[in-house]
Amino acid sequence: MHPALQGLITIIIGVGGCLGYFYFSNQILDKVIFPPKKNDAGRNINRANAVRPWLFLLPAIIALGLYLAYPVFSTLWLSLTDRSQDNAFVGLANYNQMFNEPKFWEAMVNNMLWLIVVPAVSTAFGLLSAQLTDRIAWGNIAKSIIFMPMAISFVGAAVIFKLIYDARPVDQAQIGVLNAVWLQFEGGTGSFLFLKLLPGIIVLSFAGIVSYIGWLTLKPLLPGETNQGGGLMAIARLIAVVITAYIIVRSLLLAVGIMSSSLPYGEPQQWLTLPFWNNFFLMIVLIWIQTGFAMVILSAALRGIPEETVEAAIVDGANPFQVFFGIKVPQITGTIVVVWTTITLVVLKIFDIVFAMTNGQWETQVLANYMFDKLFRANDWGVGSASAIIIMLLVSPILIWNVYNARKEMQ
Amino acid sequence: MDGMAGTSSKLTWAVHISAVLLVALWLFPTVGLLVSSFRTADQISSSGWWASVFSSEQRTVIRTVDPDDFRIEENSAFAVTGDLFAADEEKEVIAWGTSSREVEAYAPGDLVDLGDGESITVDSEGTYSWKGNEEQLSGRGKRVFATVVSPPDFTTDNYERVLFSGDSTDGMAKTFFNTLTVTIPATIIPIVIAAFAAYALAWMQFPGRAILIASVVGLLVVPLQLALIPLLQFHNNIGIGKGYLGTWMAHTGFGLPLAVYLLRNYMVGLPRDIIENAKVDGATDFQIFTKIIIPLSFPAMASFAIFQFLWTWNDLLVARVFLIDATGETTVMTNQIVELLGTRGGNWEILATAAFVSIAVPLIVFFTMQRYLVRGLLAGSVK
Amino acid sequence: MADIKLTDVNKIYGGKVHVLKDINLDIEKGELIVFVGPSGCGKSTLLRMIAGLETITSGRLEIDHEHVNDVPPAQRGIAMVFQSYALYPHMTVRENMSFALKLAKKSPQEITESVDRAARILQLEPFLDRLPKALSGGQRQRVAIGRSIVRDPKVYLFDEPLSNLDAALRVATRIEIAQLKEQMPDSTMIYVTHDQVEAMTLADRIVVLTVGEGIGQVGNPLQLYERPENEFVAQFIGSPAMNLLPGKIIATGKQTTVRIAGGGVAVSDAPSKSSDENLKVNVGVRPEDFSETKGDYIFEGEVDIVEALGEVTQLYFKAQKGGDPIIGKLAGIHSGLRGETVRLTAEPNKVQVFHEGKSLYYR
Ligand SMILES: Nc1ncnc2c1ncn2[C@@H]1O[C@H](COP(=O)(O)OP(=O)(O)OP(=O)(O)O)[C@@H](O)[C@H]1O
Ligand SMILES: [Mg+2]
């Protein structure tokens, strides 16, 4: 049979079965179980209506329960058992084993790096492009183009960027654009400006922003300020401050490293095999994909800002940058948080890009790929499930926050 | 703010220029793939794709025709004439040489004395004339090192090969249909299921509704990685193993939270009066759903459909775990590309073409349905 | 075609909010009943309970002598017209009007006939193939009414059907509804409105609902206007609201005489017993029932504001301590009264006397 025909038949059976369930189950309910007969029509209709919600919900509840809720517990259980010992309960042995593997910690550190860089850069670029495209006549075309990578698969994007990162021996023409550009640098002032000063400034300003956030977090704890939220909040703030301090120190060191490094000019580079830096080359792929999402949402939020507040600021003498950072950005912080968390969720689950481009080699491992490796290559379900539970733990703060907000909204 | 007095035109220019740069940066990678898919393997490996839109300069070694067969005798001297390029090639020689050490020694049209009365000349169109005695013009053809400029040249051969070459390992045709077979039900089934559930959660009264809504919000962020092993076990236990059915079910399960969430949010916003009026008119819940809610919820369903379509079409993980078995009969496009990356990492013409085939459909969907996509995004994330 | 009977009907939301309390009401076949009352008093809730869109917390609802508490809306033989029209936006006018008939499995011929007849009555023929978004507000309203007509229900329920229309259209549509009612003398109609003119002109009887205290009064429009049962109804019906002047009964009998605190004397046709002497009461007089006098007066005061409306002149007097300002409405033009002291009086049969909120006329 032609694959197209075969596909068509399977499709019809699958979709038809689903539609059939809803139609016939309702028919049976109304005509057979509670038929609206003469004397108790009203009662039977009411009884049928009490059952109907569950009829409507049944497939969804089954699918959600079976495919999302049950696996959470099942995976938790698997992570506590050992398959090679006949699924015996082994307590935290799998976790122990995992924590002793350097590859796991590599994946953890890399994932944290992804978590910091990708949401921040995507949101920043999204904000920038939203602001730029909202002000020009051909903005919608520009938006379409920046948004377009959204439709491209991670695998497709991996191919696209592999072409960009391609390297050839030095005596051949470079077909990867990054190496072609790289070979233009020879160590002169241009090289210094673009490869040392500019990245250094970017890293330093990142450190600056982080310190500002850290300062805002710390401020309520200082003597003389009122600390709302009690002890738990104070502890959370302290932890956040420690983390930001760590990030600041790391980025300062990074900046120094960039400035003082001696770069191998004139040699084509295998970008994806440069330890540490290759993580960033992978992240660029995701940033390229996610920026459009951030832009679309932030642009809608920016357009939702009451025009009067902006006009009032202009009348008060604010320049465009002051208007943007002082008036507009504060009014869309809620949306920025939403965008940030959404991208964070994507990052936590990132798999395809790493899988297709490096498969975790050259110190680019991330959690999801580590897990896939354990599950399907090493066939170690225990450790694989344990790493899946780690991913679950990382998303659960967002889960709790979302549910809390949803419940608040329904009141 | 347009037209406000004193808006500086410098700033406007800066905005335009930055926007152009940003757009170019974002477009550049995809264009690279597209252009590469229309080039031959030689072209791809000899120059960057960005050069292909201009005339390209290339160094090649070409042998003249075999003198034993083609030499012509003239006054006891011999000559071989011919063209370095095939008749339909529009190339131009800008320099040439006869030894590998000096490949650019001569200009087109130079008559080069090779000693003992042997000479050769090559003009810019590639016609050569090689003269000498019987001994000199024998054996193999003479090597000519030519620096050639060729005009932009594109070919659709790669697509023919990737799409229509039957069952070869490079072929994408079968995987294309496999992907479609995964995608279409995996898009429609969750919409149907979610629409009914969303209606119940939005407009029907029953105990436990609030908890169900909260659970949907919670399940929205559960990573599907957790589900791989338990579900694979489950599929094996109930006997469906790896295959389309299991894949559809997995995609349905993973797509449902977003679908229910989006659709419920949309349906709650429909006017209450209309639904009540339908009740007074004698419609049952099922009729209200099919005759009123479904037509009115079309925009929300369209936007979810696009998400789910893009997500299932682009998916690799679910397909690898739940669909593709040892026979590889049911391979989908994304997986095929990953395999190609492994086996044909250097064959950019195949890779680029295969990748472009796989992203073409999502891109078409994206550009035609962008409106709904944006609307869905906004409904899903902005409160 | 049906009479509706509500017995001790209550509505409590979420176990706490007691919106409707002990509603007892008999609606006769062919009557046009109007529900009025302040915003949030539960008019819509009561209507929706009759429609079956809202459950009845306790009490009994009968339509046509049938107990219908648990009968779903579609089986109650009712049709409802919503304030927002609730037209199905994805259906044409014709489809909107035939939807209910199709659900009831009527034959296509029958459907076409009913729709065409309704369209003729409401002059909707040119628009039958349009979508609702291509209609004006008034046309949409007529479609909503047409949609209920085609079903030929026993009871029509209207929830503020005209409040989204502009003033001129509202008058025109009101007259149309009145004509419609005349064409269908057998159908019962229940009509909720905020607009007193609508209530007074359309209603056979008006039901005034209070906030949380059940029904204030049921009666025909003029009865409610001339003989309100209580202060609530007295102040709710009529605009500007009836003036209330505190006082004390000084003479009883067939007529009651009240000395108004800080001034005049009011004589009312309301009867009283001799034991009522010295009873603290409120005297109610409608602004339009006041007339200027030089002799005995009910109220004397300094005019604060004069509003000359041409046809009438409204005089606002300085508010008495803690109370609302007293308003008088005199026919014709009376300029130059500002700052003057004016005496007002009224005919005894236009003077109400309320003791503890209840009118003496109803004792
Ligand atoms: N689902 C509900 N839960 C709790 N209280 C409700 C609910 N629906 C309505 N109410 C309350 O019941 C009261 C009556 O509402 P209803 O809509 O019947 O008022 P109404 O008289 O029609 O007012 P309006 O003239 O403004 O339309 C209001 O105070 C309202 O807040
Ligand atoms: Mg109301």
Chains touching chain C through at least 3 C-beta pairs below 8 angstroms are: A, B
Q: Where are the alpha helices (DSSP H) in C127-257?
A: 137-150, 167-183, 196-202, 221-226, 231-236
* Co-location of A177 and A191 in the same domain: no
User: Of B104, B128, B150, which marks where a domain is finished?
Assistant: B150
The mean per-residue pLDDT over the stretch C307-332 comes to 82
Q: What is the pLDDT of residue A310?
A: 79
User: Best of C45, C198, C208 to mutate for ligand 1, by most ligand atoms within 8 A of CB?
Assistant: C45
Q: With beta carbons less than 8 A apart as the criterion, state whether C228 and C234 touch.
A: yes
For C213, the token pair is 């205290």
Spatial separation of the C-alpha atoms in residues A54 and A57, rounded to whole Å: 5
Q: What is the pLDDT of residue A154?
A: 84
Q: Which of A335-349, B153-167, B347-361, C277-291 has the lowest mean pLDDT?
A: B153-167
Spatial separation of the C-alpha atoms in residues A44 and A29, rounded to whole Å: 10
**Which residues fall within 8 angstroms of residue A404, CB to CB, at 6 or more apart?**
none
Q: What is the pLDDT of residue C192?
A: 92
Confidence bin at C164 (pLDDT 50/70/90): confident
Q: Find the A387 Cα to ligand 2 centroid distance in Å.
A: 57
> Which residue type sits at B99?
S
Q: Residue B216 domain-assigned?
A: yes
- Tell me how close the Cα of A49 comes to any Cα of chain C, in angstroms: 10
* Co-location of A49 and A64 in the same domain: yes
Distances (CA, A) of B88 to B41, B66, B125: 19, 21, 12
- Tell me how close the Cα of C72 comes to any Cα of chain B, in angstroms: 8
Q: With beta carbons less than 8 A apart as the criterion, state whether C150 and C115 touch.
A: yes
The whole-angstrom distance between residue A22's C-alpha and the CA centroid of its chain comes to 36
Spatial separation of the C-alpha atoms in residues C156 and C78, rounded to whole Å: 6
Looking at residue C277, the DSSP 8-state letter turns out to be T
Query: 3-class DSSP state for residue C106?
Result: coil
Q: Which residues pair with C354 in a beta bridge?
A: C282, C359
* Co-location of B67 and B167 in the same domain: no
> Which residue type sits at C3?
D
Q: Which residues pair with C18 in a beta bridge?
A: C12
Q: What is the pLDDT of residue C322?
A: 63
CA angle in degrees (0–180, nearest 5) for C219-C225-C226: 100
For B48, the token pair is 């960057």
Q: Residue A390 domain-assigned?
A: yes
By residue count, chain A amounts to 411
* Tokens 């030095």 sit on residue: A170
* Co-location of A236 and A176 in the same domain: no
* Co-location of A207 and A176 in the same domain: no
> Which residue type sits at B365?
V
* Co-location of B125 and B234 in the same domain: no
Q: With beta carbons less than 8 A apart as the criterion, state whether A116 and A247 touch.
A: yes
- What does residue C331 show for φ and ψ, rounded to 5 degrees? -65, 145
Structural domain boundaries enclosing A207: 186-265
**Which residues fall within 8 angstroms of residue B154, CB to CB, at 6 or more apart?**
B38, B39, B52
Number of domains in chain A: 3
The mean per-residue pLDDT over the stretch C173-202 comes to 87
The mean per-residue pLDDT over the stretch A334-342 comes to 82
User: Is 50 exceeded by the pLDDT of residue B382?
Assistant: no
- Tell me how close the Cα of B130 comes to any Cα of chain A, in angstroms: 31
Q: What is the pLDDT of residues B27-50, one digit of tens each?
A: 888 888 888 777 777 677 777 777
Q: Find the C44 Cα to ligand 1 centroid distance in Å.
A: 7
For B298, the token pair is 């079309």
Distances (CA, A) of A81 to A94, B143, B224: 8, 70, 21
Q: Residue A94 domain-assigned?
A: no
User: Of B91, B125, B150, which marks where a domain is finished?
Assistant: B150
What CATH number did the domain enclosing B168 receive? Answer: 1.10.3720.10
Q: What is the pLDDT of residues A109-120, one digit of tens each?
A: 888 888 888 888
Query: 3-class DSSP state for residue B363?
Result: helix
Pick from B97, B94, B92: nearest CA to B120? B97
The mean per-residue pLDDT over the stretch A227-234 comes to 67
What CATH number did the domain enclosing A383 receive? Answer: 1.10.3720.10
* Co-location of A179 and A190 in the same domain: no
Spatial separation of the C-alpha atoms in residues A182 and A205, rounded to whole Å: 24
**Is residue C77 in contact with ligand 1, taking CB distance under 6 Å?**
no
* Co-location of B141 and B186 in the same domain: no
Q: How is B214-280 classified by DSSP, letter by letter? A: HHHHHHTT--GGGGHHHHHHHHHHHT--SSHHHHHHHHHHHHHHHHHHHHHHHHHTS-HHHHHHHHH
- Long-range Cβ pairs for the range B81-88 (8 Å, 24+): B81/B127, B81/B128, B81/B129, B81/B130, B82/B127, B82/B128, B83/B125, B83/B126, B83/B127, B83/B128, B84/B122, B84/B126, B84/B127, B84/B128, B84/B144, B84/B146, B85/B126, B85/B148
Q: Where are the alpha helices (DSSP H) in A219-276?
A: 230-260
Q: What is the pLDDT of residues A31-66, one digit of tens each?
A: 777 776 666 666 677 777 778 888 888 888 988 888
Q: Residue A78 domain-assigned?
A: no
| Stronger pLDDT, A220 or B369, i.e. the higher one | B369
For C43, the token pair is 């008019």
Q: Which residues pair with C218 in a beta bridge?
A: C207
Share of chain C above pLDDT 70, in %: 98
* Co-location of B222 and B309 in the same domain: yes
Q: With beta carbons less than 8 A apart as the criterion, state whether A53 and B206 touch.
A: yes
Spatial separation of the C-alpha atoms in residues C154 and B86, rounded to whole Å: 92
Spatial separation of the C-alpha atoms in residues A356 and A359, rounded to whole Å: 6
Q: What is the pLDDT of residue A2?
A: 62
Looking at residue C316, the DSSP 8-state letter turns out to be E
Q: With beta carbons less than 8 A apart as the criterion, state whether B194 and A20 touch.
A: no
> Which residue type sits at A25?
S
* Co-location of B233 and B180 in the same domain: yes
Q: Residue B18 domain-assigned?
A: no
* Co-location of A136 and A247 in the same domain: no
* Co-location of A195 and A261 in the same domain: yes
Q: What is the pLDDT of residue B2?
A: 47
Q: What is the pLDDT of residues C243-262, one digit of tens each?
A: 888 888 888 888 888 888 87
* Co-location of B120 and B255 in the same domain: no
User: Best of C16, C19, C162 to mutate for ligand 1, by most ligand atoms within 8 A of CB?
Assistant: C19
User: Is 60 exceeded by the pLDDT of residue B376?
Assistant: yes
What order of strands is seen across the sheet that includes strand B127-132?
B72-74, B77-83, B127-132, B118-122, B111-115
Confidence bin at B166 (pLDDT 50/70/90): low
Structural domain boundaries enclosing B272: 160-381
Q: With beta carbons less than 8 A apart as the criterion, state whether C149 and C158 touch.
A: no
Q: Which of A201-205, A320-324, C121-125 has the lowest mean pLDDT?
A: A320-324
User: Is 70 exceeded by the pLDDT of residue B12?
Assistant: yes
Pick from A106, A152, A160: nearest CA to A373? A106
Q: Residue B243 domain-assigned?
A: yes
Strand ranges in B49-124 using DSSP code E only, listed in sequence order? 56-63, 72-74, 77-83, 92-97, 111-115, 118-122
**Is residue C12 in contact with ligand 1, taking CB distance under 6 Å?**
no
Q: With beta carbons less than 8 A apart as the criterion, state whether B115 and B37 touch.
A: no
User: Is 70 exceeded by the pLDDT of residue C347?
Assistant: yes
Q: Residue B337 domain-assigned?
A: yes
Q: Residue A252 domain-assigned?
A: yes
* Co-location of B312 and B247 in the same domain: yes
Spatial separation of the C-alpha atoms in residues A237 and A215, rounded to whole Å: 10
| Inter-chain CB pairs, A–C, below 8 Å | 13
- What does residue C341 show for φ and ψ, rounded to 5 degrees? -95, 130
Burial class (CB in 10 A: 0-12, 13-18, 19+), C17: exposed
* Co-location of A118 and A20 in the same domain: no
Q: Find the C13 Cα to ligand 1 centroid distance in Å.
A: 9
Q: Quickly count helices (H) and strands (E) in chain A.
A: 19, 2
User: Is 60 exceeded by the pLDDT of residue C1?
Assistant: no
What pTM was estimated for this model as a whole? Answer: 0.79
User: Is 90 exceeded by the pLDDT of residue B204?
Assistant: no
From chain B residues 42-61, the ones with a CB under 8 A of any chain A CB are 44-51
Confidence bin at A160 (pLDDT 50/70/90): confident
A348–B223 C-beta distance less than 8 A: yes
Pick from B199, B319, B306, B200: nearest CA to B248? B319
Q: Which of B276, B278, B295 sits opposite C90 (nearest CB)?
A: B295
Q: Which of B48, B313, B383 sits opposite A175 (nearest CB)?
A: B48
Number of domains in chain B: 2
Confidence bin at C190 (pLDDT 50/70/90): very high
End-to-end CA distance of chain A: 56
Q: Does the domain at residues C4-233 carry the CATH identifier 3.60.20.10?
A: no
The mean per-residue pLDDT over the stretch A315-338 comes to 79
Q: Residue B35 domain-assigned?
A: no
Q: With beta carbons less than 8 A apart as the criterion, state whether A368 and A350 touch.
A: yes
The mean per-residue pLDDT over the stretch A125-142 comes to 84
Nearest CA to ligand 1 atom 17: C44
Q: What is the pLDDT of residue B133?
A: 77
CATH 3.40.50.300 domain locations along chain C? 4-233
Pick from B122, B135, B133, B134: nearest CA to B81? B122
Which of B277, B288, B296 is most worth mutating to test chain C (most C CB atoms within 10 A of its CB)? B277
Query: 3-class DSSP state for residue B362?
Result: helix
What order of strands is seen across the sheet that includes strand B56-63?
B56-63, B143-150, B92-97
Q: What is the pLDDT of residue A37?
A: 65
Q: Which residues pair with C243 in a beta bridge?
A: C285
A15–B192 C-beta distance less than 8 A: yes
Q: In ligand 1, which atom is closest to the CA atom of C194?
A: 25
* B206 neighbourhood in chain C, CB within 8 Å: none
Q: C240 preceded by cis ω (within 30°)?
A: yes
Q: Which of A149, A151, A296 sits opposite B365 (nearest CB)?
A: A151
Distances (CA, A) of A195 to A120, A183, A206, A261, C299: 21, 12, 17, 10, 94
Pick from C128, C53, C137: nearest CA to C98? C128
Q: Which of A121-135, B102-116, C323-337 has the lowest mean pLDDT?
A: B102-116
Confidence bin at A7 (pLDDT 50/70/90): low
Q: With beta carbons less than 8 A apart as the criterion, state whether B229 and A75 touch.
A: yes
C75–A45 C-beta distance less than 8 A: yes
Q: Residue A258 domain-assigned?
A: yes
User: Is 60 exceeded by the pLDDT of residue A1?
Assistant: no
* Co-location of B240 and B124 in the same domain: no
Spatial separation of the C-alpha atoms in residues C109 and B161, rounded to whole Å: 61
User: Is 70 exceeded by the pLDDT of residue A270?
Assistant: yes
Q: In ligand 1, which atom is closest to the CA atom of C47?
A: 18
User: Is 90 exceeded by the pLDDT of residue A241?
Assistant: no
| Pair type for strands B111-115 and C341-345 | unpaired
Q: In ligand 1, which atom is closest to the CA atom of C160?
A: 27
Q: What is the pLDDT of residue C2?
A: 60
Q: What is the pLDDT of residue A203?
A: 82
Q: With beta carbons less than 8 A apart as the criterion, state whether B225 and B306 touch.
A: no
